[in-house]
Amino acid sequence: MNYLLKQSLNMQTPVTIFYLSKSGEITQRSILVLGLTASHISAYCYKRGALRTFSLDRVLSAAQTGRNVS
C-alpha cells in the first residue's frame, strides 16, 4: 500500500482508499496524495472537496483510480 501511495504522490494520480474513522465508520475516498510521512497522508479529498490529513494506520486499503489529474 505504501508503494501505491508513494507512486500517487510522485505521478500526481488519484487513488481510492477505504478509511476507518475514529468513530468506527468506514468510508471510501478518492484522494490526491500531496504529502506522505511514516504515519500520515496529506491529500486533497474529492469527497470533501478539501485538503485532509489521513492517519496511515486507519487506511484499510488503497487502489489506483485509473484517472489522471488535469
- Residues 6 or more apart whose CB falls under 8 angstroms from that of 58 comprise 19, 20, 21, 22
Evaluate whether residue 26 is within a structural domain: yes
List the beta bridge partners of residue 4.
none
Evaluate whether residue 70 is within a structural domain: no
Tell me the CATH number at 24. 2.30.30.100
For residue 15, give the nearest of 48, 69, 62, 70 by alpha carbon: 62
Q: Which residue has the cell 475514529?
A: 22
* Intervals of the chain under pLDDT 50: none
Q: What predicted TM-score, i.e. pTM, was given to this entire model?
A: 0.87
Sign of the alpha-carbon torsion through 35, 37, 11, 66:
negative
Evaluate whether residue 47 is within a structural domain: yes
* Residue range 23-34, pLDDT digits in tens: 999 999 999 999
Evaluate whether residue 30 is within a structural domain: yes
Instruction: Give the pLDDT confidence score for residue 31 in this predicted structure.
Output: 96
Tell me how many domains the chain contains.
Answer: 1
Whole domain around residue 36: which residue ranges? 2-64
